């Protein structure tokens, strides 16, 4: 009982205060949405510049591509996994990516024998700084797409499903590399495979090594998420749309290469094998449509099911 004789009850926030709090939260969410949208626009500009007939230096265009994806991951991921979660994810990507890439250049394991040239910019030991940062953006996007594919319609992952996500996410990201690597190595010479390879100058070992590397990144992140006493993660359908859109835009950029670039008719890998440049671009587009597109479609179906519920 209170001093006035009325029974004590739970204290409630005045309606005006609740309304003010919601208004501030909505305003903050809209601001983040605008910033995420801006990073998507920057990424679109980078992909457009990559395929446009321009005399601009290539390295700044690559930097815009990588940094826009990085900014997208940090901002979109920050509101989903909070700042600490994305800092952990970023640290895992940087450490694992740089260690494995430097090991790969020095020894040939696990990707095969290769080296980087000037297109990718300054290096940290054997590996360009931009490449190390590139792991973060596409790793986050691929994780988000895989999480959609694996998640139940209700949205929240069980422990078993959480540890299934890394295996699916590694396939999602390897599909991206399957489309990109021949273009960036055999055509653009961002890096060089010393012995060439069966997939338009790229060895099959590259994709096995790539899958294993990103799987390690994802398993470490899943362990971090699983050890949190209460995973606080945005699971509503709207939270998943930006990453799915980013992955789809990446696939679309690969497809548009076939109609915009006018490369030399033939290119040669270091083993002396001749490849038709048009075939490389068409293969990249086909992988983007049928492999990346399949992952995006599965994720989109999951997203639609969650929205209906």
Taking each helix axis from N to C end, the angle separating 58-107 and 204-227, rounded to the nearest 10 degrees, works out to 90
Instruction: Using 50 as the pLDDT threshold, list the residues of the chain that sit under it.
Output: 1-10, 16-18, 20-22, 24
Environment class of residue 63 by beta-carbon count within 10 Å: exposed (0-12), middle (13-18) or buried (19+)?
A: middle
Q: What is the pLDDT of residue 5?
A: 47
Q: What is the pLDDT of residue 161?
A: 86
Question: Which strand (E) or helix (H) includes residue 246?
Answer: helix 241-260
CA dist 4 and 86 (Å) reads: 51
Tens digit of each residue's pLDDT (9 = 90 or more) over 242-252: 999 999 999 99
Half-sphere exposure of 195 (CA within 13 A, CB side): 9
pTM: 0.88
Q: What is the DSSP code string of 200-215?
A: TTB-HHHHHHHHHHHH
Q: What is the pLDDT of residue 202?
A: 98
Q: What is the DSSP code string of 34-74?
A: HHHHHHHHHHHHHHHHHHS---S-HHHHHHHHHHHHHHHHH
Which region, left, alpha or beta, applies to residue 162 given φ > 0 means left and ψ of -120 to 50 means alpha? alpha
CA dist 142 and 107 (Å) reads: 28
Q: What is the pLDDT of residue 160?
A: 85
CA dist 271 and 269 (Å) reads: 5
CA dist 283 and 287 (Å) reads: 6
Q: Apex CA 275: angle with CA 279 and CA 249, to 5°?
A: 40
Q: What is the pLDDT of residue 155?
A: 55
Tens digit of each residue's pLDDT (9 = 90 or more) over 197-213: 999 999 999 999 999 99
């Amino acid at each position: 009982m209170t001093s006035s004789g009325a029974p004590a009850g739970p204290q409630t926030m005045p309606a005006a205060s609740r309304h003010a709090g919601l208004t501030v939260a909505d305003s903050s969410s809209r601001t983040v949405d605008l910033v995420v949208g801006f990073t998507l626009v920057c990424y679109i500009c980078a992909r457009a510049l990559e395929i446009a007939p321009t005399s601009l230096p290539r390295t700044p265009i690559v930097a815009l591509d990588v940094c826009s994806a990085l900014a997208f991951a940090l901002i979109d991921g920050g509101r989903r996994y909070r700042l600490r979660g994305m800092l952990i994810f970023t640290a895992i990507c940087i450490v694992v990516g740089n260690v494995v890439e430097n090991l790969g250049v020095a020894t040939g394991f696990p990707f095969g024998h290769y080296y980087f040239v000037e297109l990718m910019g300054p290096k940290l030991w054997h590996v360009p700084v931009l490449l190390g940062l590139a792991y973060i953006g596409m790793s986050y996007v691929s994780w988000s797409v895989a999480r959609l594919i694996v998640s139940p319609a209700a949205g929240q992952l069980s422990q078993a499903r959480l540890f299934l996500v890394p295996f699916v996410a590694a396939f999602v990201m390897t599909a991206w590399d399957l489309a990109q690597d021949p273009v960036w190595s055999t055509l653009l010479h961002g890096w060089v495979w010393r012995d060439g390879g069966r997939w338009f100058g790229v060895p099959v070992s590259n994709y096995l090594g790539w899958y294993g590397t990103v799987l390690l990144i994802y398993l470490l992140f899943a362990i971090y998420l699983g050890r949190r006493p209460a995973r606080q993660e945005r699971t509503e359908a709207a939270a998943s749309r930006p990453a799915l859109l980013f992955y789809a835009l990446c696939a679309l950029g690969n497809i548009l290469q076939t109609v915009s670039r006018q490369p030399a008719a033939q290119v040669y890998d270091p083993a002396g094998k001749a490849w038709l440049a048009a075939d490389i671009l068409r293969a990249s587009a086909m992988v983007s449509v049928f492999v990346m597109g399949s992952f995006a479609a599965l994720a989109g179906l999951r997203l639609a099911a969650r929205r209906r519920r």
